[in-house]
Amino acid sequence: MRISNGLTVNTYLRNLDNIQNSKYKNEIRLSTGKNIVNLADAPEKLVRVKNMDFLIAENEKYKYIIDQSIREMQASEDKLQSISDKIGEIRQLAVDATHAGAAGNTYSIGVYVRGLLEDIIKDANADFNGKLLFSGTKSTVDSITHEPPQSNKFPFEIVQEQSTPDNPSGLKIYFKGNFEDRIINKDSKSSEKINVTADEMFGSGGIEFFENIIKVYNVLAYNPDGSPRQATDPLSKFDVEKLNDLQAKLAVTNENLNNLTAQISARRNRMENISSQMSEEVIRYKELKTVNEDTDYAKVIMDLRLEEIALQYSLQIGSNLLQKSLMDFLS
């Protein structure tokens, strides 16, 4: 093949250009840590990377949602436990009141029961991070509407009404929330309920259980004729039977609350497991992503070194090649 000057120069320039382009790309790979510099480099890998990105983002999102929900469920669990303890106390008081030794203290026990009732109402009105825990989807005080004789915007309220023969104290509990479930998406396909509704906790209308406590209070604080119980007024046989009956009903409620607590606990454990699983999945997805996307530093550094050597020698030899000609030797 005949070699012309243009051929030598053009080939030399092209090779220089190739080396410099390749070197530039590897320098970008080193500085960004990414192997795919342009879409054209590896579109099929890029699609895989995008899908991995989505899956990672999805898992991180659901993990965050689950972790947040777990905290709320933990708060519900704590309140349920607290209510359950108070029910246990009420039951114990109801039993104690029937003992002969407590004859003079029946009214005081009744007052104590009322105090516990108020404490339970406080627990039932509890919120987590500004969100009412047991009020269904009416989860803010602003969303609670009240009508007389109700006087506040909390979901549970003790109202003092007219006394009746059945309810000499006139105490009544109102529930102003709803029984709707609050749902979160716990992964791409399934949802999970994160709240406990008032009817699940306290029976029909969300107040059945409170009526039993009021009945306990009524038995302890009032005589069967509706008059306030004095220290000298002992519990009748009928009162004792009634208390035993109510105490048994409270035991059922307590059992129900314990079951609910166990259910929430189980749900929370399940969600914690899912959350851990998601953490592992994120790690796996990131590993897969890095295989497709990230720079293989060892390889790129080696390539770059080779290109630098090639460029250096190319420049050195090129300058000699292009300078010498027969013209230089003509005298």
Helix-helix angle 208-221:106-124, to 10 degrees: 160
DSSP character string of 21-36: HHHHHHHHHHHH-BS-
Alpha-carbon distances, residue 11 vs 15, 24, 303, 313 (angstroms): 6, 20, 22, 15
Residue 69 contacts other proteins per CB under 8 A: yes
Interaction residues for other proteins, span 183-222 (CB under 8 A): 183-185, 188-189, 191
Token pair of 241 as six digits: 């039977």
Shortest Å, Cβ 153 to other proteins:
12
Report the nearest approach of other proteins to the CB of residue 108 (Å): 40
Asked if 75 is part of the footprint of other proteins (rule: CB under 8 A), the reply reads no
Residue 13 touching other proteins (CB under 8 A): no
Shortest reach from residue 301's CB to other proteins, in Å: 22
User: According to CB under 8 A, which one of 65, 109, 121, 201 is a site residue for other proteins?
Assistant: 65
| Nearest CB to other proteins, comparing residues 54 and 313 | 54
Query: Cα 231–234–239 angle (5° rounding)?
Result: 130
Residue 323, interface with other proteins (CB under 8 A)?
Answer: no
The smaller minimum CB distance to other proteins, of residues 101 and 130, is found at 130
Q: Which stretch binds other proteins (CB under 8 A): 1-9, 154-162, 201-209, 264-272?
A: 1-9
Which pairs from 91-98 meet CB under 8 Å and 24+ separation? 91/247, 91/250, 91/251, 91/254, 93/216, 93/220, 94/216, 94/220, 94/243, 94/244, 94/246, 94/247, 94/250, 95/243, 95/247, 97/220, 97/235, 97/243, 98/235, 98/240, 98/243, 98/244
Is 265 within 8 Å of 77 (Cβ atoms)? Answer: yes
d(CA 96, CA 212): 17
10 Å Cβ neighbour count for 137? 16
- d(C-alpha 204, C-alpha 256), whole Å: 13
Pick the piece of the chain touching other proteins (CB under 8 A) from 146-154, 177-185, 227-235, 294-302. 177-185
Report in angstroms how near the CB of residue 190 gets to other proteins at its nearest.
11
Shortest Cβ 181–other proteins spacing (Å): 10
Question: Which residues, numbered 113-152, are part of the site for other proteins (CB under 8 A)?
Answer: 129-132, 135-140, 142-143, 145
Residue with Cβ nearer other proteins (67 or 118): 67
Give the number of residues in contact with other proteins, rule: CB under 8 A. Answer: 62
Q: Which among 246, 178, 184, 189 has a CA at the least distance from the CA of 216?
A: 246
Other residues' Cβ atoms within 10 Å of the Cβ of residue 221:
20
Q: Which is nearer to other proteins, 114 or 289 (CB)?
A: 289
Q: Considering only residues 28-57, where is the footprint of other proteins by CB under 8 A?
A: 34, 36-44, 46-47, 49-51, 53-54, 57
64 binds other proteins (CB under 8 A): yes
Min separation Cβ 10 and other proteins, Å? 7
Residue reference for tokens 């114990």: 92
User: In whole angstroms, how close is the CB of 193 to other proteins at the nearest point?
Assistant: 11
Q: Does residue 213 contact residue 243 with C-beta atoms inside 8 Å?
A: no
Return the number of the residue (60 or 233) whose C-beta is nearest other proteins: 60
* Interface with other proteins (CB under 8 A): 1-7, 10-11, 14, 34, 36-44, 46-47, 49-51, 53-54, 57-58, 61-62, 64-65, 68-69, 72, 129-132, 135-140, 142-143, 145, 178, 180, 182-185, 188-189, 191, 325-327, 330
